[in-house]
Chain A
Amino acid sequence: MDYNILDNLKYTQTHEWVKIEGMNAITGISDYAQHQLGDIVYIELPNIGETIEKGSSAGEIESVKAVGEFLMPLTGKVIQINNLLSENPEIVNQSPYDKGWLIKIEILNLKEENDLVSADEYKNIIEREDK
């Protein structure tokens, strides 16, 4: 199965993607993740202003058959959340890297960027999991 992986993004072991923009970052879930979840019906996101540690739960993505946790790829302060998703959560299925972004944060610990994996490394992670 061919999952879409964008080369210009960074990823986590838990299938989140990160786009670094200076001091800020935009995050979301990968194409593989949305595919595993199935039709997404509801997304719960944190409040703007909240500071969330790397690896902590920053929301819940509910599909018809499962509930997945969205884990913060980097420690950050929430500066924006994708408001389109409350009415149209299926956007995450349709466009996980673009219109289906989840949270925009102000990065609080730049060193953590080193823990993120590249597109190639992420491709290997999926291949191992998908067996």
Chain B
Amino acid sequence: MEFIPHDDQTIIEMLRVIGVENINDLFRDIPKDLLIESLGLPTGLSEPDLSKKMKQLSELNHVYDSSFLGAGCYFHYIPSLVDFIINRSEFYTSYTPYQAEASQGYLQAIYEYQTIISRLTKMDIANASMYDGSTALAEAIIMASGVRQKTTILIIEGIHPEYINVIKTYCWGHGLNYKILRIEDLNLELSDDIAAVAFQSPNFFGEIQNIEKLVEKVRLKSPSCLIIQVMTDPTCLGLLKPPGDLDIDIFVAEGQSFGIPPSFGGPGLGIFTVKQKYLRKIPGRLVGKTKELFGDQEGFILTLQAREQHIRREKASSNICTNQALCSLSALVYLLSVGKSGLEEIAKQNFLKSNFLKKNLAKIPGYEIKSKNPTYNEFVIKCPNIDALIDECEKVNIMPPLKLTYYYPEMKNLALVCVTELNSFESIKVFLKAANTAINIGGVKDGF
């Protein structure tokens, strides 16, 4: 279907039928003092001049040779197949698929996304996606509270600090109570009054949690409590046990690592999966496969829509009525492109390369590994002088690791370092050299 804008003659005709002189008359109910006279936009540019201007703007960007920064947003290789498919205008410009007969292609794509996510995580049901990892986690908490009819949530330390801020906002809006605690103190707080326990693994500091032990603890002390796991880099599923095998009730993740560039921290992809028994409580869209009424042809539709807020209104699990269609398509194409063995290889490289850097950093005097558990592709290291390390990284055009005081003022001289399959051994050597140089700069900063 082509988009045909109105021409001047058509506009004049339509205004005449409506009975007004000009378009402004249609807005005459708006108080004059609220009308905007002009937007102050500059005059238009010709295409060559515009190209030049955009090029100048883009040159303000600094492009690093390699990155050691993670903390919830990751640099992974994006196969060219992803852009090739998502840039097709049928996908890129299409609107929400409420009219099934006109949206079979997109509905099939979403159905396949749901299927591949379900297979990867071994969770029974995956929805069509939420906005991002943080809101997926917040929605999981709201859903759990609705399922259990309880208003208190336990949050294990180590969830991404920005995700915790989002949870705080959602809890405030829904009148829920949350308690942040260490995993060791879980037994003291578990009771039948708890709606759910939420934890992140690998956590914000890169540490892989002992999930079996945590699940056992919860099931023993509070059998009807829901267990929610969140993950910020699901490429680790190429290596680690999937949540479906670990008795997780709700598994959510940030899907940006699956074929979506980091950009400026978005857009993201909220992966949302549940056990079969929660099917009717899951928020968001669900695409189903069905047969036509008179015939044998298969087709795809939005299903179980009575869960959603445009029908269930305030009784719905969520007010979301959309999904990250294009991002979920990117994730689908990414996963199909790398395949099972490809994802295993990617995960292995993340794991081996980051642990290689971790081990070799610890050999440099003044640097100390702070991660207690095994780590996937991120770890915490104590530096003799983190500002010097950051300076040295910048000098050799490396995006430096995260200074943890950015979120936790008491964590002085601690860096959260991320290494993915995109970090060549050459870049790791450059980073080690920068780390070495950094110890000879200045004295040890105040800290511990």
Contact = CB atoms under 8 A, between A and B. Distances in A.
Are both chains from one complex? yes
A66 interface: yes
Given A41-B306, A62-B306, A67 B280 contact: no
A62 B312 CA distance: 9
Contacts of A63: 306
Contact of B311 (A42, A44, A67): A67
B280 A65 contact: no
A50 to B, nearest CB: 12
A64 interface: yes
- The interface residues of chain B, by DSSP majority, are classed as helix
Interface size class of B (residues with CB under 8 A): under 10
Interface string B312-325: 10010000000000
Interface string B287-306: 00000000000000000001
Contacts of B280: 42, 44
Contacts of A44: 280
Interface of B: 280, 306, 311-312, 315
A53 to B, nearest CB: 16
Which 6 residue pairs spanning A and B have beta carbons closest together? A62-B306, A67-B312, A67-B306, A66-B311, A67-B311, A66-B306
A64 B306 CA distance: 7
A24 to B, nearest CB: 27
B184 to A, nearest CB: 36
Contacts of A42: 280, 306
Given A65-B306, A67-B312, 12 more contacts: A41-B306, A42-B280, A42-B306, A44-B280, A62-B306, A63-B306, A64-B306, A65-B311, A66-B311, A67-B306, A67-B311, A67-B315
A62 B304 CA distance: 10
Contacts of A64: 306
Interface string A46-75: 000000000000000011111100000000
Contacts of B312: 67
Nearest to A64: B306
Contacts of B315: 67
15 contacts: A41-B306, A42-B280, A42-B306, A44-B280, A62-B306, A63-B306, A64-B306, A65-B306, A65-B311, A66-B306, A66-B311, A67-B306, A67-B311, A67-B312, A67-B315
A72 to B, nearest CB: 17
Nearest to B306: A62
A119 B212 CA distance: 59
A62 B306 CA distance: 7
A42 B315 CA distance: 16
A90 to B, nearest CB: 15
A84 B290 CA distance: 24
Nearest to A62: B306
B306 to A, nearest CB: 5
A33 to B, nearest CB: 16
Nearest to B312: A67
A41 B279 CA distance: 14
Contacts of A41: 306
A87 to B, nearest CB: 15
A42 B306 CA distance: 10
B398 to A, nearest CB: 55
A62 B307 CA distance: 9
Nearest to A42: B280
Nearest to A65: B311
A59 to B, nearest CB: 13
A42 B312 CA distance: 14
Contacts of A67: 306, 311-312, 315
Which of A62, A64, A66 has the most chain B CB atoms inside 10 A of its CB? A62
